[in-house]
Amino acid sequence: MKKLIPSYLSVPFIFFAVFAATEFFIDSGERPAFIKFPMVTVFLLVFLFIIIAIEITITAVNNVTYYLLTAEEKAKLNESKNWSLTENKWYKKLVGLLIKPESSAEVSEDQLLLDHDYDGIKELDNNLPPWWVYLFYASIVFGVVYMVRFEILGADNQEMELKKEIAQAKIEVAEYMKTAPDMMDEKTVTLLTEAGDLATGKEIFNTNCAACHRTDGGGQIGPNLTDNQWILGGGIKNIFHTLVNGGRDGKGMISWKGTLKPKEMQKVASYVISLNGTNPPDAKAPEGEVYVE
């Protein structure tokens, strides 16, 4: 029947504990769970409603049972009332420390009254509330620490921190791009010249392309890839574009983006460029325009 914690503390506490638990356990990506999943909001509201209802019921039941007690039992109960939080010694001390009520309780108002009077509006010279004073001291300590850290020891300011983070992010992106095979498009593709890459390109070419372009690139169903004339444009970017999108409709050159990874297309395109000027025997006649970068 005695309540250790008053309901204006226990209800918010229970509610926020459950709220924190939903945020912690429900994986909702960057947005909070109660925004991403409206059901969570509904659940929290219903839950809040229920705990308030329970509190009200318990209080009502307590009041009723209190009336049913005999005088003796009531006295006994009141004796042990200081179990409750608001009656606690340390609780009172804490409240006293934060709002220092002596000034209003023990000193009469006349003693505190200042001698000015604005159309009947008077002013009391109350103590500053201790919480305010502590905040003030804390801000002085903060100011000193801040001053020493940033002005004397020269720690990074926000702009510097941002610059460092951006630089770090750039390094990480570059690192990621090195290992991510799918991060490339015709704008970022570059010509590879390393023997290893070209060898892989050659392998891909012999498996997928030689049927139409011949192993030496001289051309059969597809055009000659060793001359400097191109139907769809030469250079790494155009060839990459041709591989991703295929040739003109009905000509037989399909899009390779479903079969080859971007890195593989880059390698085979680089290999095709390395075939330039090899002049294989009985190659197909050049088609298209001479390509200049």
**What residue ranges bind ligand HEC (CB under 6 A)?**
205, 208-209, 211-213, 221-223, 225, 230-232, 239, 242-243, 247-248, 251-253, 256, 268, 272, 287-288
Q: How many CB atoms lie within 10 A of CB 12?
A: 13
Q: What is the DSSP string of 207-263?
A: HHTHHHH-TTS--SSSPPSSSSEESS--HHHHHHHHHHH-SSTTSS----TTTS-HH
Rg of the chain, C-alpha, whole Å: 40
Residue (242 or 274) nearer to ligand HEC, CB: 242
Alpha helices in 69-100 (DSSP H): 71-79, 89-99
Q: What spatial distance separates the first Cα and last Cα of the chain, rounded to whole Å?
A: 89
Residue (184 or 253) nearer to ligand HEC, CB: 253
CB of 39 to ligand HEC, least distance (A): 49
Write down the residue that tokens 């204006």 correspond to: 8
Residue (40 or 269) nearer to ligand HEC, CB: 269
CB of 267 to ligand HEC, least distance (A): 10
How far, in Å, CA of 211 to CA of 243, rounded?
A: 16
What separation in angstroms does the CA of 109 have from each of 103, 112, 126, 253, 272?
9, 5, 9, 97, 97
CB of 217 to ligand HEC, least distance (A): 9
Residue (100 or 241) nearer to ligand HEC, CB: 241
CB of 37 to ligand HEC, least distance (A): 46
Residue (159 or 249) nearer to ligand HEC, CB: 249
Tokens of residue 244, six digits: 């991703």
